[in-house]
Amino acid sequence: MLFSRLWPLFISCFFLVAGYEFIRSPSVSLFQAAYSPSATPYLMVMLPVFSFSLLYLYGRILTRFGPRRTFSLTALASGVGTFLLEEMIHVGWGWATGLLFLFRETYIVIVLEQMWSLLDSIINEEEAKSVNAWFTALTSIGSIGAGFMVGALAVKWGTLAMLNLGALTFLPTIWFMNLCYRKNETRIVVTELKKENVSHTTGFQYFEQYQVLRYLFLISFIAQLVSTTTGLHFQEKLHSSFPNTDTQTAYSGNFYAIMNIGSMLFQMALAPFLLRRISPPVVQLLVPLVQIGFAVIAWQTGTLLSVSLLFGLFKSLDYSLYRSSKEILFIALPFDVRYRTKGWIDVIGYRTAKGVGSVGFAVLGYLGFTLSNWYGSVALVCFVIWTYVAFRLVRSQRKVT
């Protein structure tokens, strides 16, 4: 019964994350080919403003059209936007590579968080302990398959062709998501999404009302500082090892495919096992703790292998234990709170952290510091702070219960 209601959502997310893999590696390779890896921090400085603009537009659309039509509109706009940017790059507009990078960073979270908001609205907390992990695991197959396809086809077909493949995946994404809405109409309560309730367009007031949202925002912010630091370090090592754009794209595609295999194993085995025995806040605490040792190794050695292991482990845990436990904390919140605040946590929290981290590294680079000497130490400090905030989350939730 549960699977019959959820399978269209699983397939929709399968196509969404597959399309993202077709876009992620090319967006990085194309921008670095047009400019250089050292330009990436400067580009990411613009990410918070870009993300805020799209998120505010999403909030207005959500208030006007409701969750179901908003998903179709935002997903369709993402596919069309990807195709148009590919055409701009094809005719030689180098600045479009930067716009593609920013667009890719933002659209995936806005569209994906709508899927999670729907899932959190149609299952209970006990179901979520297994469903969340299986949801991320099964949809990871799309990331794995697309990643290996990028690795196999990027050199043969060219990097730009990967973008067109990514744009096409939005069509089945929209169709299956609408089917899921139809199958769960009786379970979705949308009475809080009033067109006249303009004050709910942003959802700022919910962060004052619910303490758990403030902790989740802080954790997301710090986690994304880790992602930014380890990601920049990985891209620097990758570019120096594979200067050719298509070869770099192929290696990156294979790396993300292997990383997603590890993530899927965590999702299918580790996440359900832990979530049935440990409370979600404690799982949130375990995520940074298990990564500190790898951060020390990457800091001390600075090799492509050690940096890749740290970056891959972070992403694997982010997509499995971190995501599954975080979503359970949203289930107890009202419908409108989920749809409005998840965007601020995972779009603005994440992307602002990327902007802040990028500003810091850009300043260091401008002052003449060698950035590769700073990535490892910054990541390690972030893991320590992350652990402290997660510990505070655990204590706050115990007081509530």
For 320-355, the pLDDT digits (tens) are: 788 888 888 888 787 778 777 877 787 777 777 777
- More confident position, 284 or 140: 284
Q: Across residues 268-283, what is the average pLDDT?
A: 84
C-alpha span between 319 and 305 (Å, rounded): 21
C-alpha span between 282 and 363 (Å, rounded): 36
Condensed to tens digits (0 to 9), the pLDDT of residues 185-199 reads: 777 654 444 444 444
Confidence of residue 356 (pLDDT cuts 50, 70, 90): confident
pLDDT at 156: 86
Give the range among 114-123, 187-196, 360-369 with minimum mean pLDDT.
187-196
Written as six digits, the tokens of 222 are: 């710090």
C-alpha span between 47 and 375 (Å, rounded): 20
pLDDT at 192: 43
Domain assignment present for residue 179? The answer is yes
C-alpha span between 309 and 295 (Å, rounded): 9
pLDDT at 199: 45
Domain assignment present for residue 195? The answer is no
Give the range among 247-261, 321-335, 358-372 with minimum mean pLDDT.
358-372
How many residues does this entry show for the chain? 401
pLDDT at 13: 92
Written as six digits, the tokens of 69 are: 């039509």
> Contact at 8 Å (CB) between 103 and 82?
yes
Expressed as residue numbers, the domain containing 63 is 2-187+205-400
Is residue 377 pLDDT above 60, yes or no?
yes
Q: Across residues 60-79, what is the average pLDDT?
A: 91
C-alpha span between 5 and 3 (Å, rounded): 5
Query: Residue 314 maps to which CATH number?
Result: 1.20.1250.20
Domain assignment present for residue 147? The answer is yes
Condensed to tens digits (0 to 9), the pLDDT of residues 11-36 reads: 999 999 999 989 988 898 899 888 87
Integer angstrom CA distances of residue 112 from 18, 220, 323, 338, 354: 12, 16, 12, 13, 19
Closest to 7 measured CA to CA, from 230, 197, 179: 179
Condensed to tens digits (0 to 9), the pLDDT of residues 86-112 reads: 999 999 898 999 999 999 988 998 899
Is residue 277 pLDDT above 60, yes or no?
yes
pLDDT at 170: 96
As a whole number, the mean pLDDT across the chain is 83
Tally of structural domains, the chain: 1
Written as six digits, the tokens of 144 are: 């794995």
Neighbours of 206 (CB within 10 A): 19
Domain assignment present for residue 192? The answer is no
pTM of the complete model: 0.72
CA atoms within 13 A on the CB side of 142: 23
Condensed to tens digits (0 to 9), the pLDDT of residues 123-134 reads: 887 888 778 777
Domain assignment present for residue 79? The answer is yes
Domain assignment present for residue 387? The answer is yes
pLDDT at 385: 93
Domain assignment present for residue 315? The answer is yes
- Which ranges constitute the DSSP H helices of 40-188? 40-44, 47-90, 95-122, 125-157, 159-168, 170-183
Confidence of residue 176 (pLDDT cuts 50, 70, 90): very high
Is residue 265 pLDDT above 50, yes or no?
yes
Rg (CA), the chain: 20
pLDDT at 399: 60
Integer angstrom CA distances of residue 99 from 56, 85, 93, 280: 18, 8, 10, 37
Domain assignment present for residue 194? The answer is no
Unique residue bearing structure tokens 């290996």:
148
